[in-house]
Structure 1
Amino acid sequence: MNLWTVFIFSITFMQRIADTYTPDERTKWKLIQKDLDELTEESKASKYWTSKYQEDLRLYTARTADFNGTCKQHIFDCYCEEFKVVLEEISLSGDETRAKRMTHTLTNMQNYSPSASDTTGSCKKCEELEETSFQEFLESFHSITQENHSES
Structure 2
Amino acid sequence: MQLHGVTTSEAVRVKAILDNINHIKKIFVEFNHANYEPSSLTLYTAQENDIRDACYNVILHCYFLEMRTVVEELTILKAEDTGELKLLHLLENLNISPTVTQWGDCKRCEEFQEKDLPVFIEAFIEFIQMKYSDGP
Alignment partner for residue 139 of structure 1, among 83, 97, 122? 122
Query: Contact between 1:58 and 1:134, CA under 8 Å: does it hold in 2?
Result: yes
**What CA distance in whole angstroms lies between the structure 1 residues aligned with 2:69 and 2:27?**
17
**Where does residue 7 of structure 1 map in the other structure?**
none
**Where does residue 150 of structure 1 map in the other structure?**
133
**Where does residue 30 of structure 1 map in the other structure?**
15
Q: For this pair of structures, how many residues does the alignment match?
A: 123
**Where does residue 69 of structure 1 map in the other structure?**
53
By percentage of residues, which structure has more helix?
Answer: 1
User: Shift of residue 35 of structure 1?
Assistant: 1.9
Alignment partner for residue 110 of structure 1, among 75, 78, 91? 91
Structure 2: state its 5+ residue gaps.
1-7
Seen in structure 2, the aligned counterparts of structure 1 residues 32 and 58 have a Cα distance that, compared at 3 Å, is same
**What CA distance in whole angstroms lies between the structure 2 residues aligned with 1:75 and 1:36?**
15
Deviations along 1:62-82, whole A, 9 cap, x unmatched? Answer: 124433211111111111111
Alignment partner for residue 95 of structure 1, among 79, 91, 107? 79
**Where does residue 3 of structure 2 map in the other structure?**
none
How many percent of aligned residue pairs carry the same amino acid?
25
Amino acid at match of 1:37: N
**TM-score of the aligned structures, taking structure 1 as reference length:** 0.67
Amino acid at match of 1:146: Q
Amino acid at match of 1:75: I
Amino acid at match of 2:58: H
User: Shift of residue 123 of structure 1?
Assistant: 0.6
In structure 2, the residue corresponding to 1:131 is in which secondary structure?
A: strand
126-135 or 35-44, which deviates more = 35-44
59-68 or 120-129, which deviates more = 59-68
In structure 1, the residue corresponding to 2:53 is in which secondary structure?
A: coil
Structure 1: state its 5+ residue gaps.
1-22
Seen in structure 2, the aligned counterparts of structure 1 residues 103 and 138 have a Cα distance that, compared at 3 Å, is same
**Where does residue 127 of structure 1 map in the other structure?**
110
Amino acid at match of 2:127: I
**TM-score of the aligned structures, taking structure 2 as reference length:** 0.74
User: Shift of residue 48 of structure 1?
Assistant: 4.5
C-alpha RMSD over aligned residues: 2.6
**What CA distance in whole angstroms lies between the structure 1 residues aligned with 2:35 and 2:55?**
31
